[in-house]
Structure 1
Amino acid sequence: MDTTIEIMELAAFVAVVQRGTFTAAADAMDTDKAHVSRIISRLENKLGAQLLQRSTRRLSVTETGRDFYERAAGILTALEESEASVARTQREPTGSLRLSAGAEFGVLRVNRWIATYLKTYPDVRVDAEFTNRVTDVIHEGIDIAIRIGALPDAELSVRKLGDIHYAFYASPSYLKGRKQPKAPADLKSHDLVMFAPRGRPSWKVVKGRQTELIETEPRYTVNNSLAAHDMAIAGMGVTLLPTFMTADALAGGKLKLLLPGWERIPVPVHAVFTSSRYMAPKLRAFIDLAIREFKAES
């Protein structure tokens, strides 16, 4: 015999005690009196104790029943509060969002998205890690990782945010007295500041259907694009940088765009997370915001 007490049995007993009769409890539960009576009898059999004293004229609660009522009412209240709490978290972004992104892209772009996110959703906290190591989303408990380039994690859910575009730049001080390049081949006569994280330094660039491979030995090679950006501003040569990194320097006259139309093949940016099923509002809200912000900044 199954002795597991069901929530419906607790609810029926609490309804009878609170309303004083089986009839009133049945009305509140949208059922009939006989059904409520059977539920209470089944509950008493499971407990092996009498909870209610019945007579033709009145219904009263036994001492055991009164004690059980207090506990049952507390359980139902806690359950209702838990359901309400879950419902709130499924409607509005709340809680803590753990995020990871590349160091440079994180500082220059994702940080702005987070600021907007925190202002928009006051009940959310963000724990961000900007690092160039590939974080383990599942084992590190990360809600969302912003990944640039190839995606090796086939088991994870993915949303594309957009593409990073690249262009050639140099400072006015570097270009002063020099012939500006008109084609990629002209870069052979220029000092180059090259971001090259690994392998032989080179740039493969495209313009429509044209493709050029630039393998000229650079004057300065570095594995950090922010460093290449600063060296270009300092007048050390021509560099190829992501366009999101150069807006302020262009506006301030510190850098000048070269070889318009020539660029590195755009690099995709994705939001990576564990699952799109039952996605928490805090995660959904950040992904939607990131897509909007990426589009607005491109």
Structure 2
Amino acid sequence: MDRLTEMEAFATVVDQGGFTDAAKKMGISKSAVSKHVSSLEARLGARLLNRTTRRVSPTEIGLAYYDRARRVLNDAGEADALVTSMQSAPSGLLRISVATDFGVNHLSPALSSFLEDFPDITVNMVLNNRYVELISEGFDMAVRIGELEDSTLRARKLTETTKRMIASPAYFEKYGKPEKIDDLNNHKLLHYSNQSSGNVWKLTAPSGEKRQVRTAGWLSVNDGQSLLNAAISGLGIAYLPSFLYSDAMEKGLVEDAMPDLPMDSQGIYAVYPPGRFTQPKVRAFIDFLVHEFADKGPSDW
């Protein structure tokens, strides 16, 4: 007899408290259930059930075997569900967390195409500039930029972005361009206000030395687009990713403050909770993003 069927018959008898109810649960005859259990006991060489005219209960050995058997049966059920899920069309609610700057400028414009391709998926995209806990906060995935802090998450790289110091031609005409990193102390700097490290810019000198610039900003704001607008208007120098400033630079609205500095790159990743398989809706969206950003970055946006 099939070992898994024997285990299922035995576990169902324990769950239902008897052969009659177990037979109804499994949709087979009472005698068939009895044969499966008897075969299992014979194969194991142990009595797993105490049988009386009134009730059926597991023996001490039977109870220990039940715990393991139930795990096996649950795993088998999950395996079946996995195959079904992997073959089913992507559907359901997809909750995404993404940084405001990238979400507004690049993810939002792409969503219409994705939703047209997958009409059974609904998207709830949350834009914020804080680190979110995917599992505890109920997100299916996130798009993150830079070094990944949580190594337990699964990640797939989408593309890269560079970071440069930029300001308007009018600002440079009035204040000049910094010639070396130390010159930034004499300039008006525009900072993100939500960085945990404070007003610190991490730069690479022409020598390859890693430098940290700590100086008070003339303006601090928790939104990259606002910093870009401030830089365009001539308020100072901002340190921004290329996906945010590239269009303005192409139009001549801003210039590179120190073009001789090595160009630092940051990865842009789709991250999602660990697990034995990826939900079809998550897999579909990540595949879509990989295709969407295949020809973008690190500087060309």
Instruction: Report the TM-score, using the length of structure 2 for normalisation.
Output: 0.63
Matched residue, 1:29: none
Matched residue, 1:251: 250
| 1:181 to 2:178 alignment | yes
Q: Distance in 1 between matches of 2:191 and 2:262?
A: 14
Q: Distance in 2 between matches of 1:199 and 1:111?
A: 29
Report the residue type matching 2:173 in the other structure.
K
Note the alpha carbon deviations across 1:58-114, whole angstroms, 9 max, x for none.
xxxxxxxxxxxxxxxxxxxxxxxxx99x84763432222111112222222232343
Matched residue, 1:99: 96
Report the residue type matching 2:296 in the other structure.
E
| 1:143 to 2:140 alignment | yes
User: What are the residue-to-residue correspondences of 1:252-267 with 2, within 5 Å?
Assistant: 252-262=251-261, 265-267=264-266
User: Is 1:160–1:269's contact at 8 Å kept on the other side of the alignment?
Assistant: yes
Query: Cα 1:189–1:131, aligned 2, differ >3 Å: closer, same or farther?
Result: closer
| 1:109 to 2:126 alignment | no
Measure how far apart 1:201 and its partner are: 2.2
Q: Distance in 1 between matches of 2:136 and 2:197?
A: 30
- SS of equivalent residue, structure 2 residue 199: coil
Measure how far apart 1:241 and its partner are: 0.8
Q: Indicate the percent of aligned positions where both proteins have the same amino acid.
A: 31
User: Is 2:100–2:223's contact at 8 Å kept on the other side of the alignment?
Assistant: no
User: Is 1:159–1:272's contact at 8 Å kept on the other side of the alignment?
Assistant: yes
Note the alpha carbon deviations across 1:103-133, whole angstroms, 9 max, x for none.
2222222323433321322222111111223
Measure how far apart 1:244 and its partner are: 0.4
Matched residue, 1:226: 225
Q: Distance in 2 between matches of 1:153 and 1:6?
A: 48
Count of residue pairs brought into register by the alignment: 234
Report the residue type matching 2:250 in the other structure.
A
User: Is 2:23–2:30's contact at 8 Å kept on the other side of the alignment?
Assistant: no
Q: Which has the larger radius of gyration?
A: 1
- SS of equivalent residue, structure 1 residue 266: strand
- SS of equivalent residue, structure 1 residue 125: strand
Query: Cα 1:119–1:260, aligned 2, differ >3 Å: closer, same or farther?
Result: farther
- SS of equivalent residue, structure 1 residue 132: coil
User: Is 1:113–1:289's contact at 8 Å kept on the other side of the alignment?
Assistant: no
- SS of equivalent residue, structure 2 residue 95: strand
Q: Distance in 1 between matches of 2:214 and 2:32?
A: 84
- SS of equivalent residue, structure 1 residue 283: helix
- SS of equivalent residue, structure 1 residue 176: helix
Measure how far apart 1:263 and its partner are: 5.8
Q: Distance in 2 between matches of 1:218 and 1:140?
A: 33
User: Is 1:198–1:223's contact at 8 Å kept on the other side of the alignment?
Assistant: no
Q: Distance in 2 between matches of 1:102 and 1:219?
A: 24
Measure how far apart 1:274 and its partner are: 2.2
Note the alpha carbon deviations across 1:217-266, whole angstroms, 9 max, x for none.
43323333222111101111222111100122123322122322536743
Query: Cα 1:117–1:249, aligned 2, differ >3 Å: closer, same or farther?
Result: same
Q: Distance in 2 between matches of 1:261 and 1:6?
A: 78
Instruction: Report the TM-score, using the length of structure 1 for normalisation.
Output: 0.64
Matched residue, 2:162: 165
Q: Distance in 2 between matches of 1:191 and 1:99?
A: 36
**Gap runs ≥5 in structure 1:** 11-38, 44-82
User: Is 2:181–2:205's contact at 8 Å kept on the other side of the alignment?
Assistant: no
